Amino acid sequence: MFDPFQLKSLTGRGIMTSSKRKPATKLAGYFLIIMLLSLAIAVPGQIGTRKELKVPDILGFVTLKCDFHMHTVFSDGLVWPEVRVEEMWCEGYDAFSITDHVEYHPFSEDVSTDLNRSYELAKPDAEALGLLLIRGAEITRMKPPGHFNTLFLSDANLLNVEDFKEAMRAAHDQGAFIIWNHPGWPDDKEEWYPIHTELYEEGLLQGIEVVNGDTYYPSAHRWALEKKLTMFGNSDIHVPTAMEYDIAAGRHKPVTLVFAKERTAEAIKEALLARRTVVWSIDNLIGEEQYLRPIFDAAVEILTGEVELHGLHHSPIQIRNTCDVPFKLELVEGDDSLRVPAQFILYPDRTIRLSVRAAGAELSGEKEVEIRYRVTNLLIAPNEGMQVAFKLRVKFLSSTN
């Protein structure tokens, strides 16, 4: 079994026999040399690097970075479960779920079809690395109804029944949280079918993937808002992450940000039921304003709250963004007395400098100015960026002074 700490080779092998060694055969000598070499290789050292995903905690909750949809060789993925654990740790996630297909096992000649097996193999390593692993599975049917992730299962094998509704009920009976996956796949058509109304009304549908991979589903976004479904952005990754995402270049898989009371699986479930999530896809945050606004407010700070403007000379304003999400701003409403940038980007984990100037050289006196921008990548609804306001104290010194 893969041992990320390389501890096994340090224990119980060869050391005792070396001190007791009698004059030995040539073969035993070679054996000793090989054992000593293996001990030398197994010296503890740096064995991994994690890139933290920086998004602030908000509203008294801890912001957990989660991915609730991925596959391993226990369905049609191309990696072993422990590799998923290692990837999730390196990429800065806090919690995840391996959701192998209940009905689809292309590697069944070589790999067990026990639906709990990928979870059981990954669990010890996840615990050792401080990651929360949630037992899940993907009910996989032709659309409609489509595919559904079932999270917080106690026994995934109970979902392996022919009748679709029976499989969904088997998940529900275990207290599962159920998500409709990739609603626009495979036909590029997002359609809410009668079966989805049925599931929704029977309490068998609580969440929806607004994002799957790098695909955004605007209709799913709208349904989530209208029907009060929890929003998810999941990777659904089948291959090793590095084959699809250039992590070293700053790319990341989709993230479901969960605002939890504490860092436990139970707290995640409570947060999902309370719909406290935001989707982070590429540069976009998708979610309700009640969560997007505190994220922006916690991450962004105007360092130059007061500015002196001399005639028509430009003066700098510094604004800092402490999180890993960029914010792309477009001017909505300025102030007649001030010229400000029509658009700018608050880059991740950077301070930027903007220049402003008085609208006229003759202006004088002091005033508080409010400038409104739209953050085009904070989506509170399809095509609707959240508005923010910056307040500045401005002292105009006319050029005749």
Task: Give the residue with the Cβ less far from Zn ion, 188 or 226.
Answer: 188
Determine which residue in the list 217, 236, 241, 317 makes contact with Zn ion, applying CB under 5 A.
236
Q: How far is the CB of 307 from Zn ion (least distance, A)?
A: 52
Task: Give the residue with the Cβ less far from Zn ion, 182 or 328.
Answer: 182
Binding range to Zn ion, per CB under 5 A, among 203-211, 219-227, 236-244, 265-273? 236-244
Task: Give the residue with the Cβ less far from Zn ion, 55 or 79.
Answer: 79
Task: Give the residue with the Cβ less far from Zn ion, 192 or 396.
Answer: 192
Beta strands at 132-140 and 95-98: parallel, antiparallel or unpaired: parallel
Binding range to Zn ion, per CB under 5 A, among 131-139, 166-174, 219-227, 267-275? 131-139
**In the complex, residue closest to Zn ion by CB:** 147
Residues 338-377 that bind Zn ion (CB under 5 A): none
Half-sphere exposure of 10 (CA within 13 A, CB side): 9
Residues 176-205 that bind Zn ion (CB under 5 A): 181
How far is Cα 255 from Cα 239, in angstroms, rounded to an integer?
Answer: 17
Our finding on whether 147 is near Zn ion (CB under 5 A) is yes
Binding range to Zn ion, per CB under 5 A, among 31-39, 175-183, 267-275, 368-376? 175-183
Q: Which residues contact 31 (CB under 8 A, 6 or more apart)?
A: none
How far is Cα 146 from Cα 18, in angstroms, rounded to an integer?
Answer: 62
Q: Please tell me the count of residues contacting Zn ion according to CB under 5 A.
A: 4
CB atoms within 10 A of CB 37: 10
Our finding on whether 135 is near Zn ion (CB under 5 A) is no
Our finding on whether 100 is near Zn ion (CB under 5 A) is no
Nearest to 285 by CA among 376, 220, 181, 348: 376
138-164 b/e with 16+ CB inside 10 Å = b?
bbbeebebbbbbbbbbeebebbebeeb
Task: Give the residue with the Cβ less far from Zn ion, 139 or 268.
Answer: 139
Query: Considering all CA atoms of the chain, what is the largest pairwise distance in Å, rounded to the nearest integer?
Result: 101
CB atoms within 10 A of CB 396: 22
Q: How far is the CB of 99 from Zn ion (least distance, A)?
A: 6
**Cα dihedral sign, 356-359-364-369:** negative
Task: Give the residue with the Cβ less far from Zn ion, 96 or 296.
Answer: 96
Integer CA distances (angstroms), 372 to 327, 349, 387, in order: 14, 22, 7
Q: How far is the CB of 246 from Zn ion (least distance, A)?
A: 22
Task: Give the residue with the Cβ less far from Zn ion, 186 or 250.
Answer: 186
Task: Give the residue with the Cβ less far from Zn ion, 103 or 288.
Answer: 103
How far is Cα 94 from Cα 152, in angstroms, rounded to an integer?
Answer: 16
How far is Cα 255 from Cα 92, in angstroms, rounded to an integer?
Answer: 10
Residues 287-306 that bind Zn ion (CB under 5 A): none
Residues at the site binding Zn ion, with contacts judged by CB under 5 A:
138, 147, 181, 236
